[in-house]
C-alpha cells in the first residue's frame, strides 16, 4: 500500500455509517487499513454492515447512538476508546433532510435538521478535541454539501445547517490546528443514496441533475471514499480548514 494513504492502526469513527455516503467512506478507510467504528441508530443494520467489512479482513466495530443525544455521544466515545484505544479520526457525517415549502415548514422540523446536521457535529468535534488534543493530534472531517453556496427552494433548514457547518469547520481548523488536530469538510454533490431516493425516482429532476453536472450523472457513494482517505491519511497532513468538493464539477458550472 502507498504509505501516503496507509491507515493501518488508525481508529476512525464515522457517524451515519449504516448506509449511503457514511458507509462508503468507512469502507474506503477500512480498505486502507483503518479500524472503523460504524455509527447509526439501528444496531442490526450496523452489525450487518460491520460484518460485511470484517468479511473482507477488516476489524470493523459498531457504536449505536443518536448523534443528537449529547450524553449518549459522550458515553459512546468513552466506550469506543475503552474498548479499541485512542481515536485518530472522526467523520461527522450523520445527516437528515426535510423538504417543505417555507410557509408550511414547522419550527420543530427546522430545529431537528439543525440539531442533527450542525449541533451534533459541534458536540462530536468538541469531545474529540478533548481526547485528541492531549495526545498530540487527530483528524476531523465534517460532511457538508454542495448545497449552501448555491441553493434550491424547500430545504432552508438543511442549507442553514450545512453552511453553519462549513463555518464551524473553519473555526475548528483555526482553533485546533495548533494542537495537531486537522479539521476539514467534504462537500458532496448529488449522490444516489436513500436521502435522495425521492429525487432519483423523479425522472425530470434526474435529467436536470445530469444536465447541470459536467460529468453528466449522479455520483455513486463509493466515489466519496477517496476524499475521506486523503483527508484522514498522511497524504492530507498539511490540509486544514479546506472544503473538498466531490460533485462532478456541478458547483463550478454556470
Ligand atoms: N446524498 C447526497 O447527495 C448528499 C449530498 C450532500 C451532502 N450529503 C450529506 O452526506 C451525509 C450522508 O448522506 P446520505 O445521502 O448517505 O444519507 P442517508 O443515506 O440518508 O444516510 C444517513 C445516515 O445518517 C444516519 N443518521 C441519521 N440521523 C441520525 C442520528 N440522529 N444519529 C445517528 N445517525 C443518524 C442514518 O442511520 P440511521 O437512520 O440508521 O440512524 C444513516 O446511516 C449527510 O450529512 C448528508 O447531508 C449527502
Residue 251 lies in a domain: no
Whole-number percent of the chain with pLDDT over 90: 95
- pLDDT tens digits, 7-53: 999 999 999 999 999 999 999 999 999 999 999 999 999 999 999 99
Q: Is the CB of 67 under 6 A from ligand 1?
A: yes
* Separation of alpha carbons 197 and 203, rounded Å: 11
- pLDDT tens digits, 103-147: 999 999 999 999 999 999 999 999 999 999 999 999 999 999 999
Residue 187 lies in a domain: yes
Task: Identify the DSSP state of 61.
Answer: E
Q: Is the CB of 124 under 6 A from ligand 1?
A: no
How many CA atoms within 13 Å lie on the side-chain side of 128? 29
pLDDT above 90: residue 254:
no
* Separation of alpha carbons 17 and 21, rounded Å: 7
Q: Is the CB of 121 under 6 A from ligand 1?
A: no
Domain CATH number, residue 234:
3.40.50.720
Task: Identify the DSSP state of 191.
Answer: B
Number of H helices, E strands in the chain: 9, 7
How does residue 182 score in pLDDT terms, banded at 50, 70 and 90? very high
* Separation of alpha carbons 169 and 91, rounded Å: 12
pTM, full prediction: 0.98
Residue 181 lies in a domain: yes
Residue 25 lies in a domain: yes
* Category of 154 on φ-ψ map: left (φ > 0), alpha (ψ -120 to 50) or beta: left
Residue 252 lies in a domain: no
Residue 206 lies in a domain: yes
Residue 104 lies in a domain: yes
Known catalytic residues are: 158
Atom of ligand 1 nearest to the CA of 18: 43
| Domain count for the chain | 1
Ligand 1 centroid from CA 3, angstroms = 30
User: Average per-residue pLDDT in the chain?
Assistant: 97
Amino acid at each position: 500500500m502507498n504509505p501516503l494513504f496507509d491507515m493501518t492502526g488508525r481508529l476512525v469513527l464515522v457517524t451515519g455509517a449504516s448506509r449511503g455516503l457514511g458507509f462508503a467512506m468507512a469502507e474506503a478507510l477500512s480498505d486502507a487499513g483503518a479500524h472503523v467504528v460504524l455509527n447509526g441508530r439501528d444496531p442490526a443494520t450496523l452489525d450487518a454492515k460491520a460484518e460485511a467489512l470484517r468479511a473482507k479482513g477488516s476489524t470493523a466495530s459498531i457504536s449505536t447512538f443518536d448523534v443528537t443525544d449529547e450524553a449518549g455521544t459522550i458515553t459512546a466515545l468513552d466506550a469506543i476508546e475503552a474498548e479499541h484505544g485512542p481515536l485518530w479520526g472522526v467523520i461527522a457525517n450523520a445527516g437528515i433532510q426535510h423538504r417543505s415549502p417555507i410557509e408550511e415548514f414547522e419550527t420543530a422540523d427546522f430545529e431537528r435538521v439543525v440539531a442533527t446536521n450542525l449541533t451534533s457535529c459541534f458536540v462530536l468535534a468538541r469531545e474529540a478535541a478533548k481526547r485528541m488534543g492531549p495526545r498530540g493530534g487527530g483528524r476531523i472531517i465534517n460532511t457538508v454539501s454542495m448545497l449552501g453556496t448555491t441553493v434550491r427552494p424547500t430545504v432552508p433548514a438543511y442549507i442553514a445547517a450545512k453552511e453553519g457547518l462549513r463555518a464551524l469547520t473553519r473555526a475548528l481548523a483555526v482553533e485546533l490546528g495548533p494542537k495537531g488536530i486537522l479539521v476539514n469538510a467534504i462537500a458532496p454533490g448529488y449522490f444516489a443514496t436513500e436521502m435522495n431516493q425521492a429525487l432519483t425516482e423523479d425522472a425530470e429532476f434526474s435529467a436536470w441533475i445530469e444536465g447541470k453536472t459536467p460529468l453528466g450523472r449522479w455520483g455513486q457513494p463509493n466515489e466519496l471514499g477517496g476524499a475521506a482517505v486523503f483527508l484522514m491519511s498522511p497524504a492530507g497532513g498539511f490540509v486544514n480548514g479546506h472544503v473538498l468538493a466531490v460533485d462532478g464539477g456541478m458547483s463550478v458550472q454556470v
